[in-house]
Structure 1
Amino acid sequence: MSEQNKAIHNETDQSRRQLLKSIGLTAAAGAVAAGTTTVAKAAVETPEQKNENNSTGYRETQHVRDYYETL
């Protein structure tokens, strides 16, 4: 190869290496950003405390007990 071809080839190799480094760094930065976003989101969402007085589930009231006595 002539000196000019070697110089062009070397420059092309360096630009490819730089491109691959950039792609790798971009992927790593994206993974870090996605991980910190998930952590921040998980920290914001806190479970609500149950208030036993406002439950809409089954309650055994006098009316229910009277019904059970008729069975």
Structure 2
Amino acid sequence: MSEQKKPNEGRRQLLKNIGLTMAAGAVAAGTTTVANAAGDKPENKKETKTTGYRETQHIRDYYETL
């Protein structure tokens, strides 16, 4: 009876490390996403206003084939 089995500490440590690794990966992924979102700056592009539909010569030629 003096001989008792001790729990396997290596297995417990492995499970703890897996959990910590997953948590660290989630935090790293979250901060990367936030950093990318914060780094995006909208560019000042001039919006070109279109006049809409234009009937050009190649459009007229197509309509004649119908």
- Pairwise TM-score range, normalised by the shorter structure: 0.5 to 0.7
Alignment of 1:13-52 (within 5 A): 14-52=9-47
Q: Quick one: which of 35, 41, 51 aligns to 1:59?
A: 51
Partners of 1:49 and 1:2 in 2: CA distance: 79
> Structure 1 vs Structure 2: percent identity of aligned residues?
62
TM-score normalised by structure 2 residue count: 0.63
CA RMSD of aligned residues (A): 2.4
Unaligned segments of structure 2, at least 5 residues? 55-66
Instruction: Report how many residues are paired.
Output: 53
Deviation at residue 59 of structure 1 after TM alignment: 3.3
Unaligned segments of structure 1, at least 5 residues? 65-71
1:19-55 C-alpha deviation (Å, 9 max, x unpaired): 0000000000000000000000001112223424xx1
Structure ranking higher in helix proportion: 1
TM-score normalised by structure 1 residue count: 0.59
4+ runs deviating over 4 angstroms: none
